[in-house]
Amino acid sequence: MNPVNYLYLAALLFTIGATGVLIRRNAIVVFMCIELMLNACNLAFVVFSRMHGNLDGQIIAFFTMVVAAAEVVVGLAIIVSLFRSRHSASVDDASLMKL
Amino acid sequence: MSASAVHSLWTTAAEPISKIDAPKIEYAQLSPTLIVIGAAVVGVLIEAFVPRKSRYYAQVFVAVVALAAAFSAVVALAASGYGTTKAHIAAMGAIAVDGPALFLQGTILLAGILGVFTFAERRLDPQAHGNRVDAFAAQASAVPGSDTEKAAVKAGFTTTEVFPLLLFAISGMLVFPSANDLLTLFVALEVFSLPLYLLCAVARRKRLMSQEAAVKYFLLGAFASAFTLFGIALLYGYAGSVSYATIAHVVDGTITNVDPALAGTMGNDVLLLIGTALVVMGLLFKVGAVPFHMWTPDVYQGAPTPVTGFMAAATKVAAFGALLRLLYVVLPGLRWDWRPVMWAVAVVTMLGGAIVAITQTDIKRLLAYSSIAHAGFILAGVIATSPDGVSSVLFYLGAYSFVTIGAFAVVTLVRDAGGEATHLSKWAGLGRRSPLVAAVFAVFLLAFAGIPLTSGFAGKFAVFKAAAEGGAGALVVVGVISSAIAAFFYIRVIVLMFFSEPKPEGPTVAVPSPLTMTAIAAGVAVTLVLGVAPQYFLNLASQAGVFVR
């Protein structure tokens, strides 16, 4: 199968993730959509790596996974602390600061 | 059949391990970053092993010593010519050691030292149960207002983890402007962003606002870095490599000895343009330029003020360094494509920041919008695409970071019963009540406004001159107009402080410890010295203004 098709899939996944970030209201779901975007990036890296015939892209995919894991640690800590003090993880409810 | 014969049925002998070349790492040239990372790790160990009472002193000591050592390492590298003649690319092509990198690393480290001083301040908040407390929560994991929190306050807990977090953030910021491939760029971006997200969440007072700021910063920051990563993927697809030099060669069409496997797949301009747009977008987000600035006011307002001051100064320095390197080293061949876009971004950033700032009633939000306007001014220097453009941006960043840290340090002093009194109406008549603090803040505001004899004027002049010579005259006109708009609200605050009656229930000005005093004094000193005699530092910046490729 032509590897370019996987690129289209990566772009599609990335768009789904970005759309999710924009329209979903639960901070956890928003965060999952961001993770989906990162995974789409990984797919793109691996596909390019295969197309170019060098390994850089596959190595970068590992780095991305580690970064995503670190991001989960920090992000969930912040979201959980917000949830515990507000009993809601909605990003719309968090609006103490407005213009 | 022997074991080895069975084995050989489906495996072949691997190449001997000795054939792999060990990477060559120039530890001495990377020492500023390595010192800071090492100190951050030591800070984590201090959290684990040192008794609670002595942690604060140990952390502050380690942080200050490490940052000072890293700064002297930067100075030593610059003195031995790595900023000019010996500039080269270290760590197997991952890190550039050159003038702009060293200049910005020095600036970030000095901002970091002042940041540690403001973080360590323990005399502003009233004592809780006989313990001196700082700006950070007793226990960040305790629910605000809960019994756990009260118990933590009573026990005299403090979040001394902020110091290692600060050091981790600084280490990422040191790598960010010197990253010489896109992977290092991305990792450095995350290394400095993640600690900052956490630091935003740990304010002692107004904790709900602080947590809200952290969530907003985190979600938007992660969103932006996902875009950056996708851009990096596309640029990798375009050039077959993430190294800056290779991408630049492919953009220019000057690449030699193309890998035959690559020849058929690289060089797709669609990938180049979309990839560039996405990566630059991620950097503009960190810089706080206008279409991507939505996080700035909320995060600046909600984060603990020492964190805001540090973040406003150092993040901007690091992100502009990375933006400069990307645009000047990787994409000069594409400048006819990116310059119009950056023009538009600079114009809306300058005008947007200045105009919206007029309507603000909170001093931290006002400074946030002012920082957006300043991002626009610095972008004008970036657009110049000339050596003068680089050196003027370096100078501006150095001048701006000290003013910012000083201004936010002053904000921490003005307090009422609820903590910092950030509403502008409470600042009325401050000049009558405590003339010194008001005068110092006025100096910072005048520097933000770019009044002559302050560093702000020298920086703005250098940036606008470079932009005008680089053929961006119209941009300079817009810049001057928005400077005038911005001057209006800075002057308004000064008038408010000096020419209106103090309210009877107004805030008090806390007397800080020598730590915050040092930060403010350094801010004032740098502001005035760079304003009165900028030439030495302009020369330094122009010597440092050449990128290595």
Chain B residues within an 8 Å CB radius of A63 = 183, 186-187
| Confidence at residue B1, expressed as pLDDT on a 0 to 100 scale | 45
**Interface test with chain A among B44, B187, B218, by most A beta carbons within 10 Å:** B218
Integer Cα distance of B507 and B363 in angstroms: 14
Partners of A41 on chain B (C-beta within 8 Å) are 226, 229-230, 232-233
Number of CB pairs, chain A paired with chain B, less than 8 A apart = 136
Res A72: pLDDT: 95
Residue B124, amino acid: L
Residues of chain B with pLDDT under 70: 1-18, 256-257, 260-261, 264
B residues 202-231 lying closer than 8 A (beta carbon) to A: 207-209, 211-216, 218-219, 222-223, 226-227, 229-230
Identify whether A96 is part of a domain. Answer: no
pLDDT at site B173 = 97
Which among B190, B219, B301 has CB closest to A30?
B219
Chain B residues 172-191 within an 8 A CB cutoff of chain A:
183, 186-187, 190
Per-residue pLDDT, B131: 84
In a domain, A99, yes or no: no
Q: What is the mean pLDDT of residues A1-20?
A: 93
Q: What CATH number is given to the structural domain containing A9? A: 1.10.287.3510
B419-420 and B414-416: which strand pairing?
Answer: antiparallel
ipTM over 0.85: yes
- Whether A94 maps to a domain, the answer reads no
Candidate from B183, B222, B301 with C-beta closest to A75: B222
Cβ contact B262–A52 (<8 Å) = yes
Residue A48 pLDDT > 80? yes
Classify residue A97: in a domain, yes or no: no
Beta bridge partners, B89, equal: B96
Element (H, E) at B419: strand B419-420
> Does A62 reside within a domain?
yes
For residue A35, being part of any structural domain is answered with: yes
Q: Are B131 and B157 in contact (CB under 8 A)?
A: no
Q: What is the pLDDT of residue B108?
A: 97
> Average model confidence (pLDDT) for chain A?
92
Residue A42 included in any domain: yes
In sequence order, which residues have a C-beta less than 8 Å from that of residue B17 and are 6 or more positions away? none
Whether chain A has a CB inside 8 Å of the CB on B261: the answer is: yes
What is the number of domains present in chain A? Answer: 1
| Mean pLDDT, residues A54-80 | 94
Cβ-defined contact of B237 to A51 (cutoff 8 Å): yes
Residue A95: inside a domain, yes or no? no
Residues B542/B398, Cβ–Cβ less than 8 Å: no
Which residues span the domain enclosing A16? 4-86
Is A74–B213 a contact, with Cβ atoms under 8 angstroms apart?
A: no
> Min CA distance, B395 vs chain A (Å)?
32
